[in-house]
Structure 1
Amino acid sequence: MPPALMWSEVYRPKRVEQMVGNEDVRLAVLKWLQKWVSGTKPLLLLGPPGVGKTTLVHAIATQFGFDLVEMNASDTRNRDSLQARLAPVMNNVSLFGTKSLLFLDEVDGISGREDTGGLDLLIDMMKEPTVPVIMAANVKSAKIKELAKACKTVEFAPVPPRLLLMFLEHVLASEGEKLGPGDKVALVNNCRGDIRNLLNSAQSRAAGYATVSNADVAEIEIQDAINGYFSATSKEKAVQLLARADASFPDPRYQGMDPESRRKDMIAALFSTIVSSQAGDTLADMLDVLSKADVVVGRVGRRRQWSLLRYVSPMLAHGLYDKSRGKEIRYSQYSMPWPVMGPVFARSQTVRKLASFIGPATHVSKRTCSWLVLPYLVREMINEKVDPAEFALANFDDESVGESLVKEIERAKGAKK
């Protein structure tokens, strides 16, 4: 076996029964395929990277004699290009007389303003498919909500640690490699159910390119990791701290992250920290390092080479180290200095409080109340000389609303001057 081959490819299952984990999901997919007739709803596979979505589709095509037509949906975003690629496939027989199976990967990357009708076209074409269609996405986000309604959805779960350990031991035995019990447990824990990540990390460890210990499993809060990195007295210590951060590198194409995921975005966290620190003469150089790392993350997402993400932390750690020494940089969640951010934050608290009372009373959302109703109300209260305290007690029976209104009225009067 050529040593250059990645274990994740060498041990990629060729048949459905060779796969590890998600037995119920595999059975559901096979039943869907067995009952498929023209017009059957497409299948939408949901699950994190590395759990076997793509592998399952390839195994089905090989095992059951389908001519697999595979497309990355996120690479074909607009209506015309998507139609040009899909239309020839939507028939029952390929050029060689075998049945076709259409696989659209990363459909959660097709949504967005630049798509100009791509998602709408996909939904229309999936209403009466003439070939079996399987789609895959990492998460069932709001972006593909309507598409999901037109599909039968099955969800993959991360592979359990017990099965991962058994599979890892099988691969190591097949390769004639040995790892210590601690290394194997750490590899399994670190991969978090991602088989591809497990095999890539194990191969790297077996080749001596990386070390793994149980201590590596313990992650550090992103705030503590960043503060520790910028105050570390040695590059080795700094690199270790950043590598152990409880952080992520989300694909920049996919927006709409929840606040906790956004907080753990390593590149965004470093950006806000560096910009708010006023690092002076090395600011541009540090931002250049972040920019290059961001480009790498984007390419990893487009090419689905998830294992390469583990190189981003070292890239950042080594690239920023010399440029950040002696700058007294401290973690900041915001990309503006606090003297600027403080008043903005304080006012947002006031507006949020008022919107929570006034919005329901005026039958609008809090957001609409904040930008439309509240400014008009404040201006009318100023013009009509309405007492904020009396207004609040009469309408909401809450003195704190009156106090918040006073602040908004004072701000509006100051802006008018």
Structure 2
Amino acid sequence: MYENLVEKYRAKSYSELIGQDKAIAEVQQFLKEFPKKKALILHGPAGTGKTSLAWAAAIENNSEVLELNASDLRNRAKLEQIVRPASIQKSLFKQSKIILMDEADGITGTDIGGIPELERIIEITRFPIIMTCNDVWQSKLAPLRSKSKLVEMKSLDTIKITEILRRIAEKENINRDINFFTKIAIKSQGDLRAAINDLQSYANEENLFVDTSEKRDVEENIFIILRKLFKERNDFLDLFDSTKMSLDEIFLWIEENIPNEYKNEALVKAYYALGKADVFRGRVYQNQSWRFLVYQNIFQSAGISYAKPSPTYGFTKYEAPKRVLKIWLHNQKTAKKKTIAKKYAKFVHCSVKRIMRDFDLLKPIMNNPEVQKQLNFSEDEIEFLKSQN
């Protein structure tokens, strides 16, 4: 009979959750101090055990669990019918209760009244509310962040995932060598759930080759990457691997948002690191020295991350780079100026370069209606000349 190994080996106690000691301690403290804070948000990448930790907390505390997902949280009516009564009524079978709201970041902007009603429920609840989400820094979750304790769950490293897979395989009589488990762990990119699913999928394959160069599709939003870069403090040499953006595009995003995140000495250090990245970026293009991309990446990632003395928290609104728009506007302006200069240069038998250099001196002549007519200037070109006065 087929049995899903993810569910079969889901952690049922704190001791079964590997590599999440800090998160476990923070959840225990939250439950101990309740109702000092009435809600908690477990956040982090997929497959880190957010839902499992919530269930383990309930089991350890002998609590009933009311579990809901994003589809149950979409509108005020559903929340009023299901969650509001549960948040104030005692459990019939157990001493306490935990309300688990899974995938809270799945609530979309079109979900009417979902988040405002959740805010009200958090205020009146008599029982702990635990929410899970991948990205807690989305702007739509700001009202919930302010009312909740935030607990981050980190991705597991390859060694820990390899060991978990080995233990499961031993119990399931899956006879494979350690290299097999390591390859699956590398492919999972820190997602334990995905790794266990792969183990089950590949368990009965003969002569299976797991391509270690193949990475799970973890294309990340640029805003998530910026939050990791600016909020956390890490080496982050592979931070940009999860986006299809080039280092140059990311450079512009970082340049635009450093002042939104850093102040004082941290701001100076961040711009120094970005300046160094730009030096190596220039060498790449000028000399085709592609080996310098490594140094550009180091200064652009670890250099920016370590500019701050310690990790920071709170929401920051990141903005798209404006320099590209400024360059485009400048190019548009220059292109029109060059078109006019070409017409005038041909008329006076002079180089375009010289007309461009003396453009401001020649504007009064080019603004003469007779000259404009003779040179066949377009309406746009005439308007451009007028705007330059």
54, 60, 63: which one pairs with 1:63?
60
Please name the residue that 2:48 is paired with.
51
Looking at structure 2, the residues matched to 411 and 181 of structure 1 have their Cα atoms a distance apart, in angstroms, of 75
Looking at structure 2, the residues matched to 4 and 68 of structure 1 have their Cα atoms a distance apart, in angstroms, of 27
Residue 22 of structure 2 aligns to a residue whose secondary structure is helix
Which AA in structure 2 matches 1:166? E
The structure-2 alpha-carbon separation of the partners of 1:142 and 1:164, relative to structure 1 and needing over 3 Å to count, comes to same
Please name the residue that 1:400 is paired with.
none
112, 133, 140: which one pairs with 1:137?
133
Please name the residue that 1:217 is paired with.
212
Tell me how far 1:70 sits from its aligned partner. Answer: 0.5
Looking at structure 2, the residues matched to 410 and 82 of structure 1 have their Cα atoms a distance apart, in angstroms, of 61
15, 18, 42: which one pairs with 1:17?
15
Alignment RMSD: 3.8
Please name the residue that 2:32 is paired with.
34
Please name the residue that 1:333 is paired with.
none
Which AA in structure 1 matches 2:31? L
Structure 2 residues not aligned, in runs of 5+: 227-239, 246-322, 331-358, 361-376, 385-389
1:119-155 Cα shifts (integer Å, max 9, x gaps): 1221232234321110010112222122112110000
Looking at structure 2, the residues matched to 408 and 174 of structure 1 have their Cα atoms a distance apart, in angstroms, of 80
How many pairs align? 252
1:91 matches 2:88: yes
Tell me how far 1:256 sits from its aligned partner. Answer: 7.9
Residue identity over aligned pairs, in percent, reads 27
What does residue range 334-345 of structure 1 map to in structure 2 within 5 Å? none
Looking at structure 2, the residues matched to 76 and 411 of structure 1 have their Cα atoms a distance apart, in angstroms, of 59
Please name the residue that 1:6 is paired with.
4
Which AA in structure 1 matches 2:197? N
Tell me how far 1:190 sits from its aligned partner. Answer: 0.8
The structure-2 alpha-carbon separation of the partners of 1:408 and 1:200, relative to structure 1 and needing over 3 Å to count, comes to farther
TM-score normalised per structure 2: 0.56
Looking at structure 2, the residues matched to 144 and 261 of structure 1 have their Cα atoms a distance apart, in angstroms, of 27
**Residue pair 1:102, 1:131 contacting (<8 A) in 2 also:** yes
**Residue pair 2:62, 2:94 contacting (<8 A) in 1 also:** no
The structure-2 alpha-carbon separation of the partners of 1:147 and 1:261, relative to structure 1 and needing over 3 Å to count, comes to farther
The structure-2 alpha-carbon separation of the partners of 1:352 and 1:90, relative to structure 1 and needing over 3 Å to count, comes to farther
Looking at structure 2, the residues matched to 189 and 349 of structure 1 have their Cα atoms a distance apart, in angstroms, of 37
Looking at structure 2, the residues matched to 261 and 118 of structure 1 have their Cα atoms a distance apart, in angstroms, of 35
Looking at structure 1, the residues matched to 133 and 207 of structure 2 have their Cα atoms a distance apart, in angstroms, of 31
1:189 matches 2:182: no
Looking at structure 2, the residues matched to 409 and 145 of structure 1 have their Cα atoms a distance apart, in angstroms, of 47
55, 74, 79: which one pairs with 1:77?
74
Residue 98 of structure 2 aligns to a residue whose secondary structure is strand
Looking at structure 2, the residues matched to 412 and 92 of structure 1 have their Cα atoms a distance apart, in angstroms, of 72
Tell me how far 1:12 sits from its aligned partner. Answer: 1.3
Residue 186 of structure 1 aligns to a residue whose secondary structure is helix
Looking at structure 2, the residues matched to 48 and 349 of structure 1 have their Cα atoms a distance apart, in angstroms, of 31
Please name the residue that 2:122 is paired with.
126
Looking at structure 2, the residues matched to 79 and 407 of structure 1 have their Cα atoms a distance apart, in angstroms, of 59
**Residue pair 1:40, 1:128 contacting (<8 A) in 2 also:** no
Looking at structure 2, the residues matched to 94 and 53 of structure 1 have their Cα atoms a distance apart, in angstroms, of 24
Which AA in structure 2 matches 1:115? D
Which AA in structure 1 matches 2:65? L
Tell me how far 1:92 sits from its aligned partner. Answer: 5.2
**Residue pair 2:38, 2:127 contacting (<8 A) in 1 also:** no
Tell me how far 1:52 sits from its aligned partner. Answer: 0.8
**Residue pair 2:219, 2:242 contacting (<8 A) in 1 also:** no
Tell me how far 1:34 sits from its aligned partner. Answer: 1.6
TM-score normalised per structure 1: 0.53
Looking at structure 1, the residues matched to 87 and 378 of structure 2 have their Cα atoms a distance apart, in angstroms, of 62
Tell me how far 1:17 sits from its aligned partner. Answer: 1.1
Please name the residue that 2:104 is paired with.
107
Looking at structure 1, the residues matched to 178 and 94 of structure 2 have their Cα atoms a distance apart, in angstroms, of 51
Tell me how far 1:96 sits from its aligned partner. Answer: 3.1
What does residue range 225-244 of structure 1 map to in structure 2 within 5 Å? none
Looking at structure 1, the residues matched to 151 and 172 of structure 2 have their Cα atoms a distance apart, in angstroms, of 34
Tell me how far 1:247 sits from its aligned partner. Answer: 4.2
Please name the residue that 1:397 is paired with.
none
Which AA in structure 1 matches 2:134? N
The structure-2 alpha-carbon separation of the partners of 1:350 and 1:53, relative to structure 1 and needing over 3 Å to count, comes to closer
Tell me how far 1:108 sits from its aligned partner. Answer: 0.7
What does residue range 355-366 of structure 1 map to in structure 2 within 5 Å? none
Residue 169 of structure 1 aligns to a residue whose secondary structure is helix
Residue 153 of structure 1 aligns to a residue whose secondary structure is strand
Tell me how far 1:67 sits from its aligned partner. Answer: 1.0
Structure 1 residues not aligned, in runs of 5+: 220-243, 266-347, 356-388, 391-405
1:235-272 Cα shifts (integer Å, max 9, x gaps): xxxxxxxxx6x74578xxx998879899659xxxxxxx
Looking at structure 1, the residues matched to 135 and 34 of structure 2 have their Cα atoms a distance apart, in angstroms, of 25
**Residue pair 1:248, 1:264 contacting (<8 A) in 2 also:** no
Looking at structure 1, the residues matched to 22 and 225 of structure 2 have their Cα atoms a distance apart, in angstroms, of 29
